[in-house]
Structure 1
Amino acid sequence: MKPNIVEFVVHGRYALFSDPINRMGGEKLTYQVPTYEALKGILSSVYWKPTFTWVIDEVRILNPIRSQSQAIRPIMYGGGNTLSIYTYLSDVAYQVRAHFEWNMNRPELTHDRNENKHHNIAKRCIERGGRRDIFIGTRECQGYVEACNFGEGEGFYDNYGEMPLGVMFHGFTYPDEGNTQKLVARFWKPIMKDGIIQFKRPEECNIQRELLQTGTKVFTFEANNVMPVEQFDWCKEFGGEAVELG
Structure 2
Amino acid sequence: MRNAIEFDVFGDYALFTDPLTKMGGEKMSYQVPTYQALKGIVESIYWKPTLLMIVDEVRVMNPIRMESKGIRPIEYGGGNTLANYTYLREVHYQVKAHFVFNSHRPDLAFDRNENKHHNILKRSLKAGGRRDIFLGARECQAYVEPCNFGEGKGFYDNYEGEIHFGTMVHGINYPDETGRNQMEVRLWNPIMKNGVIQFIRPDQCEHIRTVSEMSPKHFDQSNVLSAEELWTHIDGGE
Q: Same fold (TM over 0.5)?
A: yes
- Check 1:98–1:70 CA distance in 2 against 1; reply closer, same or farther (3 A cut): same
Is 1:51 equivalent to 2:50 in the alignment? yes
Q: Percent of counterpart pairs with the same letter?
A: 60
Q: How many residues align?
A: 224
Whichever residue aligns with residue 6 of structure 2, its letter is E
Whichever residue aligns with residue 152 of structure 2, its letter is G
Q: Aligned to 1:163, what secondary structure does the other structure show? A: strand
- Check 1:93–1:222 CA distance in 2 against 1; reply closer, same or farther (3 A cut): closer
Poorly superposed stretches of 4+, deviation over 4 Å = none
Hey, what's the Cα distance between the residues in 2 that align with 1:189 and 1:45? 26
Per-residue CA deviations over 1:85-143 (Å, capped at 9, x if unaligned) read 10000000000000001111111110110111111111111111001110111011000
Aligned match of 1:188: 188
Alignment TM-score, normalising by the size of structure 1: 0.87
Task: Give unmatched runs, 5+ long, in structure 1.
Answer: 227-246
Hey, what's the Cα distance between the residues in 1 that align with 2:124 and 2:222? 30
Q: Aligned to 2:28, what secondary structure does the other structure show? A: coil
Is 1:40 equivalent to 2:39 in the alignment? yes
- Check 1:122–1:191 CA distance in 2 against 1; reply closer, same or farther (3 A cut): same
Per-residue deviation at 1:156?
A: 0.1
Aligned match of 2:26: 27
Per-residue deviation at 1:81?
A: 2.7
Per-residue deviation at 1:24?
A: 4.9
Per-residue deviation at 1:220?
A: 2.9
- Check 1:127–1:169 CA distance in 2 against 1; reply closer, same or farther (3 A cut): same
- Check 1:222–1:169 CA distance in 2 against 1; reply closer, same or farther (3 A cut): closer
Q: Aligned to 2:175, what secondary structure does the other structure show? A: coil
List aligned pairs for 1:1-246, cutoff 5 A: 2-20=1-19, 22-76=21-75, 78-160=77-159, 161-221=161-221
Whichever residue aligns with residue 57 of structure 1, its letter is D
Hey, what's the Cα distance between the residues in 1 that align with 2:175 and 2:20? 19
Higher relative contact order (CA 8 A, sep 6+): 2
